[in-house]
Amino acid sequence: MTDDWRNDRIGSALRGENPAVLRKLEAGFAVIGDVQFLPGYSVLLVDDPVVERLSDLPKSKRLAFLSDMDKLGEAVERACKRLDPAFRRVNLEILGNTDPFLHAHVWPRFDWEPTDLVGRPVWLYPRERWSDQQHALGPQHDAVRKAINEELDGLLA
């Protein structure tokens, strides 16, 4: 994967050029995360690049975005539970402190995580986990990507 799409995640998704996109949902794009040190990590990107916060959306679109976040969260939960018996739960977060566009993080959590981190926010993981190439999104994540898509299929049917 080239990194060009990372400079315009939503625009590249709208143009069909974002390789992390799992699928278009009602109010955004379900994408698999750039890093997979917690396999199944996904993000819901709003489908309008000028939207910075949830409150920027009209009420109907806001509810649609939250519904999409719920669907993606449930799909990640079901997929991770199916693929890894050590799956614990899913954490959902809308933070907006770094990227200037509305997005929601869907973090699967597992019993095999370090004991000092398993019950704490994922943002406390060491910085090297976020940039270690062994955790970079790639073909080795095709199975979890496929499982999340299968679960989304079921939820959207």
User: Quick check: 36 pLDDT over 70?
Assistant: yes
Find out whether 97 and 78 touch, Cβ atoms under 8 Å.
no
> How far is residue 58's CA from residue 127's CA, in Å, rounded to a whole number?
36
Q: What pLDDT is recorded for position 96? A: 80
For 4-19, the DSSP string reads: GGGGGHHHHHHTT--T
Question: Which has more pLDDT, 32 or 4?
Answer: 32
User: Quick check: 1 pLDDT over 50?
Assistant: no
Q: 102 — phi, psi (to 5°)?
A: -65, 130
User: Is this model's pTM higher than 0.85 or not?
Assistant: yes
Helix segments in the chain, DSSP class H: 9-14, 59-83, 127-131, 142-156
> How far is residue 28's CA from residue 120's CA, in Å, rounded to a whole number?
28
Block residue for tokens 């997929």: 79
In the chain, % helix, strand, coil (3-state, to 5) comes to 45, 20, 35
User: Quick check: 3 pLDDT over 70?
Assistant: no
Q: What pLDDT is recorded for position 80? A: 98
Q: What pLDDT is recorded for position 49? A: 93
Mean pLDDT value across residues 6-26: 94
> How far is residue 16's CA from residue 85's CA, in Å, rounded to a whole number?
34
Task: Kindly report which listed range (1-10, 27-36, 51-60, 66-75) carries the lowest average pLDDT score.
Answer: 1-10
Residues found in the chain: 157
Q: What is the pLDDT of residues 82-141, one digit of tens each?
A: 999 999 999 999 998 888 899 999 999 999 999 999 999 999 999 998 888 989 999 999
